[in-house]
Amino acid sequence: MFLRVARMEAFSDGVFAIAITLLVLEIAIPPGFEGHLLRGVLSQWPSYLAYIVSFATIGAIWLGHNTITHYMHGANTAFLRLNLALLLLVSFLPFPTKLLAENLGSRDDEKVAATIYGITLLGAMLLLSLLWLQALRANLVHPDTGDEEIKLLTARLRPSLAIYVALLVVGWFTPFVAVIGYLVVAFFLIFPIRLRRRQKAEPAVS
């Protein structure tokens, strides 16, 4: 009754790819801009911002997920259930993204929208960290994985949780700053990988 890593990856990739693509469906120009399309397009900046933040975050989570499963030589069911919980949040993300896009700029509601959005991101990142912990504890990681590599991934996942909590607090006072913060965190999660790779000159084997 065990599950192969390959099919879990295929199913997860499907959910990641769909969630990242569905985000665009919520973007639309409201009526009232006939003959002034450029103004209408520009008026939707919160939608584009929310789109990019969510896209970058799902991209970062996909990269992290990819890295974790790459080190694994098998899956147990605790891992699979945690993975389902992560996918639940990832596929839910288009809804908080829509809330954010619709309410950024409206004084009363943007705090609520930014907080719900931030909680969803925090939850997803927490589950990604738990997936990594589970892989380590249950010996799902290849025995020949270097200690340095394990430490590096651990060191990268942990601080992002603290930053998300801090941004949640910031978001209650200045939602816009928090959203920019979420974007920066997502880029931070994609960039360090690059920093590390610089050390290795040769490309990875496919």
Query: Where in 78-107 is the site for a copy of itself (CB under 8 A)?
Result: 78, 80-81, 84, 87-88, 91-95, 98-99, 103, 106
As beta bridge partners, residue 72 has 141
Q: Binding pattern to a copy of itself, positions 32-71, x when CB under 8 A?
A: --xxxxx--x---------xx--xx--x--xx--xx--x-
- Among 43, 74, 136, 161, interactor with a copy of itself by CB under 8 A: 74
From CA 59, how far away is CA 88, in angstroms rounded? 16
From CA 10, how far away is CA 14, in angstroms rounded? 6
C-alpha gyration radius of the chain: 19
150 lies in the site for a copy of itself, by CB under 8 A: no
From CA 138, how far away is CA 161, in angstroms rounded? 22
In the complex, minimum distance from the CB of residue 165 to a copy of itself, in angstroms, rounded to a whole number: 20
Q: How far is CA 62 from the centre of its chain?
A: 7
Length of the chain: 206
- Among 49, 119, 136, 152, interactor with a copy of itself by CB under 8 A: 152
- Among 139, 155, 158, 166, interactor with a copy of itself by CB under 8 A: 139
